[in-house]
């Protein structure tokens, strides 16, 4: 898919008039190996309930049953029934080995 334009509507749009397509897309160059392994890495994480609980806690999420549902070089998505959270990696992740290192470090909250 190629994103050619971005249009925000509603109240947040008034504060985001200068946002461009590049501001909302994640650059995946250099992370091809990592993205090819995304689903396997998600499954590995989700088989470790203590790790998933720690990730959700670091994301500031309330106590619920969480699952990792997506990963990209910048961070990971967590979802639970009725809730979602995002956790930023402290450094860009481009390989499965770098993911293992990132999971062992503190995360950034944005």
List CB contacts of 72: < 8 A, sequence separation 6 or more: 26, 28, 31, 35, 38
Q: What is the CATH number of domain 28-103?
A: 3.20.180.10
Residue 105's nearest CA partner among 88, 94, 90, 87 is 90
pLDDT in tens, the chain (110 residues): 676 766 666 555 555 556 666 666 677 788 899 999 999 999 999 999 999 999 999 888 888 899 999 999 999 999 999 899 999 898 899 999 999 999 987 765 55
Give this prediction's pTM: 0.76
β-pairing verdict for 75-80 and 83-88: antiparallel
Q: Within 10 Å of residue 67's Cβ, how many Cβ atoms?
A: 14
> Is the sign of the CA dihedral 26, 30, 35, 36 positive or negative?
positive
Q: Within 10 Å of residue 41's Cβ, how many Cβ atoms?
A: 19
Q: What does the domain layout of the chain look like in residue ranges? A: 28-103
Q: Strand, coil or helix: what is 97?
A: helix
Cα–Cα dist 110/96, whole Å: 23
| In contact, 85 and 56? CB cutoff 8 Å | yes
Check residue 1 and give its pLDDT.
64
Check residue 69 and give its pLDDT.
96
φ, ψ dihedrals at 59, nearest 5° = -80, -5
Check residue 5 and give its pLDDT.
66
């Amino acid at each position: 898919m190629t994103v050619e334009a971005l249009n925000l509507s509603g109240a947040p749009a008034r504060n985001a008039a200068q946002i461009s397509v590049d501001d909302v897309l994640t650059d995946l160059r250099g992370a091809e190996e990592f993205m090819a392994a995304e689903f396997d890495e998600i499954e590995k994480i989700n088989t470790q309930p203590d790790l998933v609980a720690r990730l959700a806690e670091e994301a500031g999420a309330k106590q619920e049953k969480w699952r990792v549902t997506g990963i990209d070089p910048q961070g990971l998505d967590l979802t639970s029934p009725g809730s979602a959270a995002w956790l930023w990696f402290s450094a860009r992740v481009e390989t499965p080995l770098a993911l293992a290192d990132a999971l062992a470090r503190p995360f950034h909250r944005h």
